[in-house]
Amino acid sequence: MQTGLATPSQSHLNFSSKPANSIYRHSPLNPLKPSSSSSSCRSTLKTRTISNKVTPLETIQTHLSNLQKILQPSSSTTNNNGIKEKEKRLLNGLDLSKIMPEMKSSAEEMSPRNLNRLKRLLSISQEYSPRNNLATRWREYHGCNNWDNLLDPLDENLRREVVKYGEFVQAAYQAFQSNPSTTTTSSSENDVDVPPPLSPRHVSVSDTSYKVTKSLYATSSISIPSWIDDMAPDLSWLTQRSSWIGYVAVCDDPREIARMGRRDIVISLRGTSTCLEWAENVRDLLVKMPGDENHHHSNAKVECGFLSLYKTPGSIPEMPSLSESVVHEVRRLMDLYKGENLSISITGHSLGAALALLAADELSTCDIRVPPIAVFSFGGPRVGNRGFANRITENGVKVLRVVNSQDVITRVPGMFVNEALDEKLRTSRAGGLLKILDDNVPWAYSHVGSELRVDSKMSPYLKPNADVACCHDLEAYLHLVDGFCASNCPFRANAKRSLAKLLHEQGANVKKLYTSKAHGLKLGLDKAKIQIPNCVQNPF
């Protein structure tokens, strides 16, 4: 055990400046004197009290005595954490701050309990909150009541479910980053380019009770000249029109199905990762949804770029549009598990959160047998106008948006940046004017669903001035959700999520204390690294 004071000579006490008969000379820690003199020192100290008040000399003697006991070998038993209970009590009794006030923070840092907790959080192994049985309340956790009374304070079961869906999106990112190219180059015998088959895709889902059943692709309606690819052939995946964007998975573990009370179908969608996806993001004019002329909400409009990625088919028959793939696979699974309790959970981050809303809207009307649909989105932008938001709500789709207060992406696109102000204005005399704007202005966007608001400034591990990339990062979102307790108590002390990945991806935004401790503890954080192309690390 390191106590910070190996010998008295290392402290700020000057032992050589005292007279020969002083207490320091008779200290058991003084190598020039035998330890048998310690008893005479204690008897001398007892006579040096005034009105039963302990003198400074007696206080120092107590500190030194405690230090001696810590430095001596001990045969005391250990607890589950391998910390000697006797030494813990003596360390607390040492009270280094009284001897050296400037050591107060250092003494706190070397507390065995704090070091063990920090070491656990910095380890690369992931911990989770307990998985309680949700069978009797699964519809409530799936949003049938819009998560009323579950968000503030955050229900521990809901926290676990939200983090789980966020990790489905992480699996989508990792699968894409491992092989960004959608297709492989091939040619015929006459050197004429032919459409190659889709490359296989392995998705490593952290929740092993789910199996992946379908890969999903999104296609841009924008094309880029081929000479751009010729300039950087190794980065041609950045300009490919169609890209792997996510997957469909279904729970097939009987125990997990019993715990959740239904068989869950998950649609997971990643965020922006290619140049053409970026180009679609900035096409922010609102357009009417196709085939919406006879719908009750005929004024429902969505962003042009998002709709393009969702509806545009690929250049080969094996690659239908994202819309077709999602609807076809969900119908297939509904037929396969006909008669069972089913749910559809759509989750996405950034661009994926926007596409998740479009998928939820279409699935809600694709079949009269469609099971309950819920969207769990992270850092999602606005997708459509108020007519689209009303349409989503009336179709029975439940939406839970996880929003970081410092994330600017959640406030674009659109005219109104402050959602609370927008709601307040709509209940005032200005409500009629805003309705006219909703119907006629091409940038009158509106959010939809319930909101779980977190704040990166409330994390004890992140710097309060964390940059835009950190505030939008998915791992930062999951870190904040795992630590969120309530709006008046934002970060729980018993948060379980490992800091290893957060340190790797956002090390510059983590407080220096924890980055230095990570290196000091030599926890092998390199094992947690994920190779991510620089152009992929972006907001949206």
H-helix segments, 14-103: 38-46, 56-71, 85-94, 96-99
Q: What is the pLDDT of residue 422?
A: 60
Q: Which of 264, 284, 361, 407 is catalytic?
A: 407
Look up 63 and say whether it is catalytic: no
SS3 of residue 344 by DSSP: strand
For the residues 47-70, what does the mean pLDDT come to?
57
Q: What share of the chain is helix, strand, coil (3-state, %, to 5)?
A: 45, 15, 40
Is 90 exceeded by the pLDDT of residue 295? no
Which two structure tokens, joined as six digits, stand for 108?
Answer: 């706190």
For the stretch 142-181, pLDDT in tens is 999 999 999 999 999 999 999 999 999 999 999 998 888 8
- Residue 463 to residues 408, 476, 509, 517: CA-CA distances in angstroms? 17, 12, 6, 16
Per-residue b or e along 433-469, where b marks 16 or more CB atoms closer than 10 Å to that residue's CB? ebeebbeeeeebbbbbbeebbbbbebbebbbeebeee
The answer to whether 228 and 191 are in contact (CB under 8 A) is no
Look up 498 and say whether it is catalytic: no
Is 80 exceeded by the pLDDT of residue 192? no
Q: What is the pLDDT of residue 183?
A: 60
Q: Which of 215, 242, 350, 377 is catalytic?
A: 350
195 CB-side CA count, 13 A: 9
41 pLDDT band, cuts 50/70/90, is very low
Q: What's the one-letter identity of residue 415?
A: M
Look up 17 and say whether it is catalytic: no
Ordered strands of the 450-454 beta sheet: 210-219, 242-251, 263-269, 342-349, 373-378, 398-404, 450-454
Token pair 């694709």: residue: 366
For the stretch 369-421, pLDDT in tens is 999 999 999 999 999 988 899 999 999 999 999 999 999 999 888 765 455 55
337 within some domain: yes
Any idea what the Cα angle at residue 147 is, between residues 144 and 150, rounded to 5°? Answer: 140
Which CATH number covers residue 316? 3.40.50.1820
539 pLDDT band, cuts 50/70/90, is very low
114 pLDDT band, cuts 50/70/90, is low
1 within some domain: no
Beta pairing, strands 373-378 & 398-404: parallel
Q: Which of 349, 447, 472, 504 is catalytic?
A: 472
Is 80 exceeded by the pLDDT of residue 132? yes
44 pLDDT band, cuts 50/70/90, is very low
113 within some domain: no
Q: What is the pLDDT of residue 483?
A: 94
Q: What's the one-letter identity of residue 104?
A: K
274 within some domain: yes
Beta pairing, strands 373-378 & 342-349: parallel
Is 90 exceeded by the pLDDT of residue 293? no
For the stretch 304-354, pLDDT in tens is 999 999 999 987 877 899 999 999 999 999 999 999 999 999 999 999 999
Polymer length in residues for the chain: 540
Q: What is the pLDDT of residue 294?
A: 56
330 within some domain: yes
The answer to whether 363 and 331 are in contact (CB under 8 A) is no
299 within some domain: yes
Is 60 exceeded by the pLDDT of residue 34? no
Q: What is the pLDDT of residue 316?
A: 80
Q: Which has more confidence, 18 or 287?
A: 287
Q: What's the one-letter identity of residue 95?
A: D
Q: What is the 3-state secondary structure (H, E, C) of 90-159?
A: HHHHHCHHHHCHHHHHHHHHCCHHHHHHHHHHHCCCCCCCCCCCCHHHHHHHCCCCCCCCCECCECHHHH
Helix (H) or strand (E) holding 348: strand 342-349
Distance of CA 512 to the CA centre of its chain: 20
15 pLDDT band, cuts 50/70/90, is very low
Measure the CA–CA gap between 183 and 83, rounded to whole angstroms: 55
Quote the domain boundaries for residue 226.
129-182+198-454
For the stretch 513-525, pLDDT in tens is 788 777 766 555 5
Choice among 44-53, 80-89, 143-152, 222-231 with the minimum mean pLDDT: 44-53
45 within some domain: no
12 within some domain: no
Any idea what the Cα angle at residue 335 is, between residues 331 and 336, rounded to 5°? Answer: 115
Proportion of the chain above pLDDT 70, given as a percent:
61
Number of structural domains (the chain) is 1
